[in-house]
Structure 1
Amino acid sequence: MVDRERKLIRDLKQWKFRYPPNYAELPISDEPKYNVPVAVKNSVFSKVPTEPLIGKLHLVCTSEDAMTDILDLHPEVAETEEFIDFVAGKYLPNGGLTVCHRYGGYQFGYWADQLGDGRAHILGEYINSKGESWQPQLKGSGETPYSRFGDGRAVLRSSIREMIASEACHYLGIPTTRAAALVVSDDHKVWRDRAYCGTMREERAAVVMRLAPAWYRLGSFEILLKRNEPHTMKQLADFVIKHHFPDVAIDDPDKYVKLYLEVAYRNLDMVATWQGLGFTHGVLNTDNISVLGLTIDYGPFGFVQHYYEHYVPNTSDDAGRYAFNKQPGIILWNLEKFAEALAPILTDDQKKKINDIRAPLEAYVREKITQTYLNKLGLEQCRDGDAALVKELLQLMQQTMADFTSTFRQLAEVEVSQLLDATTLESKWSLAKVSKASQWGQWVQKYRDRLEQEKVSDENRRTRMLKVNPLYVPSNWILQEAIADAEKNDFGKVRHLLKIFKNPYEVNEEAEKLGYSSQPPNWSFGLKLSCSS
Structure 2
Amino acid sequence: MKRAFCILAALRTEHTANYIAKMSPITNFKEWKFHDPPNYAALPINDNPEYNVPVAVKDAVFSKVPTEPLVGKLHLVCASDDALTDILDLDPSVAESEEFINFIAGSYLPEGGLSVSHRYGGYQFGFWSDQLGDGRAHILGEYINSKGETWQPQLKGSGETPYSRMGDGRAVLRSSIREMIASEACHYLGIPTTRAAALVVSDDHKVWRDKSYSGHSRQERAAIVMRLAQAWYRIGSVEILNKRREPALMKDLVDFIIKHHFPEIENGSGDKYVKWFQEVSYRNLDTVAIWQGLGFTHGVLNTDNVSLLGVTLDYGPYGFMDYYSPHYVPNTSDDMGRYAFNKQPAIMVWNLCKLAEALDPILSEQQRQKIKEIAATLLDYVHVKVALALVLKLGFREYKGGDENMAYDLLKMMLNKMADFTATFRQLSEVDPQHLLDKTVIEKHWSLNKLIEDSDWEKWVKNYEKRLADENITEEVRKQRMVKMNPLYVPRNWILEEAIKDAEKNDFEKVRFLLKLFKKPFEVNEEAEKLGYSSQPPSWSYGLKLSCSS
Task: State TM-score, norm by structure 2.
Answer: 0.95
The 5 Å alignment of 1:126-525 reads 126-249=143-266, 254-525=271-542
Describe the superposition over 1:307-326 as per-residue Cα deviations: whole angstroms up to 9, x where unpaired. 01100000000000000000
Describe the superposition over 1:421-468 as per-residue Cα deviations: whole angstroms up to 9, x where unpaired. 100011111000112111100111111122223334322221110001
CA distance in structure 1 between the aligned counterparts of 2:21 and 2:405, rounded to whole angstroms: 55
- Tell me whether 1:21 sits opposite 2:38 in the alignment: yes
Q: Tell whether the 8 Å contact from 2:327 to 2:337 is kept in structure 1 after alignment.
A: yes
Give the RMSD, CA atoms, in angstroms: 1.3
Report the CA distance between 1:227 and its aligned residue.
0.2
CA distance in structure 1 between the aligned counterparts of 2:223 and 2:20, rounded to whole angstroms: 31
CA distance in structure 2 between the aligned counterparts of 1:99 and 1:291, rounded to whole angstroms: 19
Report the CA distance between 1:251 and its aligned residue.
8.0
CA distance in structure 1 between the aligned counterparts of 2:528 and 2:186, rounded to whole angstroms: 17
144-153 or 76-85: bigger deviation: 76-85
Identity of aligned residues (%): 69
- The partner residue of 1:66 within 69, 83, 100 is 83
- The partner residue of 1:41 within 58, 74, 79 is 58
Gaps of 5+ in 1: none
Report the CA distance between 1:369 and its aligned residue.
1.0
206-215 or 379-388: bigger deviation: 379-388
Describe the superposition over 1:110-166 as per-residue Cα deviations: whole angstroms up to 9, x where unpaired. 000000000000000000111110000000000000000000000000000000000
379-388 or 276-285: bigger deviation: 379-388
Report the CA distance between 1:201 and its aligned residue.
0.8
Report the CA distance between 1:384 and its aligned residue.
2.1
Report the CA distance between 1:42 and its aligned residue.
0.8
Report the CA distance between 1:470 and its aligned residue.
0.3
Q: Secondary structure at the match of 1:381?
A: coil
Shift in alpha-carbon separation, 1:359–1:446, aligned structure 2, 3 A: farther
Q: Secondary structure at the match of 1:357?
A: helix
Describe the superposition over 1:281-332 as per-residue Cα deviations: whole angstroms up to 9, x where unpaired. 0000000000001101000000010001100000000000000000000000
CA distance in structure 2 between the aligned counterparts of 1:380 and 1:289, rounded to whole angstroms: 31
CA distance in structure 1 between the aligned counterparts of 2:213 and 2:47, rounded to whole angstroms: 35
Report the CA distance between 1:253 and its aligned residue.
5.8
CA distance in structure 2 between the aligned counterparts of 1:466 and 1:330, rounded to whole angstroms: 30
Q: Tell whether the 8 Å contact from 2:300 to 2:331 is kept in structure 1 after alignment.
A: yes
Task: Read off the aligned partner of 2:58 and give its amino acid letter.
Answer: K
Gaps of 5+ in 2: 1-18
Describe the superposition over 1:331-388 as per-residue Cα deviations: whole angstroms up to 9, x where unpaired. 0000000000111111111111011122322221111111111110001222222221
6-15 or 347-356: bigger deviation: 6-15
CA distance in structure 2 between the aligned counterparts of 1:10 and 1:259, rounded to whole angstroms: 40
CA distance in structure 2 between the aligned counterparts of 1:257 and 1:411, rounded to whole angstroms: 43
CA distance in structure 2 between the aligned counterparts of 1:62 and 1:430, rounded to whole angstroms: 34
CA distance in structure 2 between the aligned counterparts of 1:430 and 1:120, rounded to whole angstroms: 41
Q: Partner of 2:10 in structure 1? A: none
Shift in alpha-carbon separation, 1:251–1:24, aligned structure 2, 3 A: farther
Q: Tell whether the 8 Å contact from 1:217 to 1:288 is kept in structure 2 after alignment.
A: yes
Report the CA distance between 1:399 and its aligned residue.
0.5
Q: Secondary structure at the match of 1:478?
A: helix
72-81 or 335-344: bigger deviation: 72-81
CA distance in structure 1 between the aligned counterparts of 2:111 and 2:136, rounded to whole angstroms: 22
Q: Tell whether the 8 Å contact from 1:55 to 1:186 is kept in structure 2 after alignment.
A: yes
Q: Tell whether the 8 Å contact from 1:103 to 1:217 is kept in structure 2 after alignment.
A: yes
463-472 or 372-381: bigger deviation: 372-381
CA distance in structure 2 between the aligned counterparts of 1:166 and 1:349, rounded to whole angstroms: 40
- Tell me whether 1:11 sits opposite 2:37 in the alignment: no
Q: Secondary structure at the match of 1:527?
A: coil
Aligned length: 532
Q: Secondary structure at the match of 2:279?
A: helix
Q: Tell whether the 8 Å contact from 2:122 to 2:304 is kept in structure 1 after alignment.
A: yes
Q: Tell whether the 8 Å contact from 2:21 to 2:146 is kept in structure 1 after alignment.
A: no
Shift in alpha-carbon separation, 1:251–1:518, aligned structure 2, 3 A: closer
Q: Tell whether the 8 Å contact from 1:53 to 1:185 is kept in structure 2 after alignment.
A: yes
CA distance in structure 1 between the aligned counterparts of 2:242 and 2:199, rounded to whole angstroms: 36
CA distance in structure 1 between the aligned counterparts of 2:475 and 2:452, rounded to whole angstroms: 19
Q: Secondary structure at the match of 1:208?
A: strand
Report the CA distance between 1:235 and its aligned residue.
0.6
Q: Tell whether the 8 Å contact from 1:379 to 1:456 is kept in structure 2 after alignment.
A: no
Shift in alpha-carbon separation, 1:214–1:71, aligned structure 2, 3 A: same
Q: Tell whether the 8 Å contact from 1:57 to 1:183 is kept in structure 2 after alignment.
A: yes
137-146 or 382-391: bigger deviation: 382-391
